[in-house]
Structure formats: structure tokens, C-alpha cells
A = this chain, B = another copy of it.
Amino acid sequence: MEIEIGRAKRARRVYAFDDVAVVPSRRTRDPEDVSVTWSIDAYQFDIPFLAAPMDSVVSPTTAIMMGQLGGLGVLDLEGVWTRYDDPEPLLAEVRSLPADRATARMQQIYSEPIKPELVTARLAEIRAGGVTVAGALSPQRTQELYKTVVEAGVDLFVIRGTTVSAEHVSKNVEPLNLKKFIYELDVPVIVGGAATYTAALHLMRTGAAGVLVGFGGGAASTTRATLGIHAPMATAVADVAGARRDYMDESGGRYVHVIADGGLGTSGDIVKAIACGADAVMLGTALARATDAPGGGLHWGTEAYHSQLPRGNRVEVGQVAPLEEILYGPAPVAEGTANLVGALRRSMATTGYSDLKEFQRVEVVVAPYHAH
């Protein structure tokens, strides 16, 4: 439904996860009968969860843990692990910085150059853990580093930025030609963020195996205050799921995975992402709350240490439980921050669905939160 903002502007009403909820059907199931497996390209996962490439969430160690627990950990190949031989003291420093000095010091820490040999070493370390290996670069660095990454051996290659388009225009540098790049690469590529039907459709046409929906981070509120840009996730996921359907038709059957990335703080949000059409979810905040996450109760993304225009802060997310309990429970609390897999299973069972693809058809309602 188009809305008239004023005589010279029309707009569309869009929806956040907080605006919607799922409702039961006439059937119920046992949670144990529900399947939450997910596969992309040749890789199969017990659970449809990717750990986001952020230093507060994924280290080589937690990437291995995530794989062993049935999901996929994606290492940020532009974070501390590829800039420093021993990043642990720096992570400890970031965790202990007072709030008013955090941004400035993080800008320093992340100005250290990336070392290709460390990229190689970190990926090898994950490979040695016996799990699927995935690393992420920003579009700006992909050209420079992708060969190192591919030679080091990754199973899934992630290109992740705030907004990634299939058609970047630049007067100064030759931009990455995604279509050509993906075509020539042997490794399946997951790319994003994209938040609209059109942007996602063009990314799908580049040959990507998956598209990240969102703006590559959870700092939606500060992005809105700073850039005026906002794409509420319920609408974004449902729009990109529409692009998946239309692209499947135009491509004669190629299925590109839709991965919600951002705004997924609780198990309820994960449920809604899949209900709106996501195949899997990339989790930042939700996993940064693990007692064994590298952030130690804090969480930050690249936008927090942008040199000219920081659009997020290092935030306190608290510590809830070890990663395994965050994923599989038992949940010590009732806020949807632990036993994410159990909650997803129970939600699917309560509403009568038996696998994720089916669950994308669950009935959704618009029911805004009430303040009290």
C-alpha cells in the first residue's frame, strides 16, 4: 500500500520483527519431530545459524566450536586475527576500555595493516578443527585479498558490507565486478547486505549462493540517526524472499539462499525471520552473549571503529550462558536469549510445521508491541 507523505513524495509502509508475530495453525506437533537442518551448496548443517564475522563473536576457536555444534562460524578476515600475531591482549584491552575512550582506541587498533600470512594461518587453524571453513571480507578488500583466502582454502566465501550492490560506481577505483568475480571463483559466495527486492535480485544474478539481508550489523538505530537509512527486517526478508522466488523462475530453478543478518536479538526474532522467508540467520548479538564469546559480554562491529563516521558503539550485551547452552539450552532465563534451537523447534511444533522450508509459510500477523 502506497502512502502519500506529502504532495511530492510517496512511500511504502514497512515492518520490523517487533511489528509481527507468528500464530498457530489447527495442527500441533512434538518438538522432537521437527527438523531444523539447513544445507547450502554441498554443505549441510544441523542448525540454520551462522555466527557473524565480528571480533566479539567469532575467533578461530569459536568458529570451530560453532561448527562442532552444528552451525557455521564465519571469521572476519579484516579483524584483529589477521592484523596481529597475538590478538588476545588487544581483545582484552577493548573489553576493558572505558566507554568514552573506546571508539578512539579501537580506531587505532584496527588501523594496523592486515597480514596475508595471518589470513592463511587462521583459516588453516579452523580447517584443522574439522569443520566447514568460512571467512568474510568487505567488498573494498575483496580484490586485494581473495586470492590469499582461496589459496588458504575456504569452503564458503562471504562478502559482507553495510550495503553491497551488484553495481558499485566509482570514479577513482575500478570496483569489484561481482558477477565476473563469482563466476571465476570456485568457491560458493554469500554476499550482502542487501535490504530491497531489486538490490537482492541483482546480487542473485551475480551467481551468489546466498544473500545476506540487512545492513551487515545490528546498529540499526544509530545507522538511522546518522544516515537516515533504515530497512526494517520483516519487510526486508520478505522482499528478498520474493526476489529468490522470482530469480528461481527467471534462472530456471537456481535457489539462492536468503540469510537474515541483523536485528536478531532473541529466539523470537529468529522464528520471525524464517517465518518471513529466510533460509538461515546470521547471528551477532545473540551469540556475543555467550560466556565463551571473544567479546566477553561486549559487542562491536566495523561501524564502531569507522575512522570518519562511526555509526555504532561498542555495546554491552551481557553474558547469558556458554555457547552450547545459548544454542541448545537449557535456558536459565525466559527472555529468548538461550536455547535458541529449542525455541525454534518449539515454535515450529506449536504452529504445526515440520521443517524450515514449510515454516516459511506460517501465518504472520501485524501486532505492534505495547509499551506497558
Which A residues are closer than 8 A to B by beta carbons? 1, 3-16, 18, 20-30, 32-33, 103-104, 162-173, 194-199, 201-202, 219, 222, 224-232, 234-245, 266-272, 275-277, 303-304, 307-313, 329-336, 339, 342-343, 346-347, 350-352, 363-367, 369-372
Contact = CB atoms under 8 A, between A and B. Distances in A.
Contacts of A30: 168-173
Task: Output the residue of A26, A310, A333 with the most chain B CB within 10 A.
Answer: A26
A241 B7 contact: yes
Given A171-B30, A330-B308, A334-B311, A366 B11 contact: yes
Given A24-B165, A29-B169, A277 B334 contact: no
B365 A308 contact: no
Q: Please tell me how many copies of the chain the complex holds.
A: 4
Given A225-B335, A268-B224, A276-B9, A367 B16 contact: yes
A138 to B, nearest CB: 12
A104 B303 CA distance: 39
In the A-B complex, the 5 residue pairs with the smallest Cβ-Cβ separation, listed nearest first, are A6-B238, A7-B242, A228-B271, A21-B230, A8-B241
Contact of A231 (B33, B168, B365): B365
A200 to B, nearest CB: 9
A309 B329 contact: yes
Nearest to A313: B334
B227 A346 contact: yes
A275 B369 CA distance: 22
Nearest to A11: B364
B28 A5 contact: no
B27 A167 contact: yes
Given A245-B8, A276-B9, A308-B331, A230 B25 contact: no
A197 B7 contact: yes
A5 B334 CA distance: 28
Residue among A9, A16, A26, A364 with most chain B CB within 10 A: A9
Contacts of A269: 228
Contacts of A367: 13-16, 230, 232
A271 B227 contact: yes
A14 B228 CA distance: 19
A15 B163 CA distance: 26
A131 to B, nearest CB: 26
Nearest to A243: B7
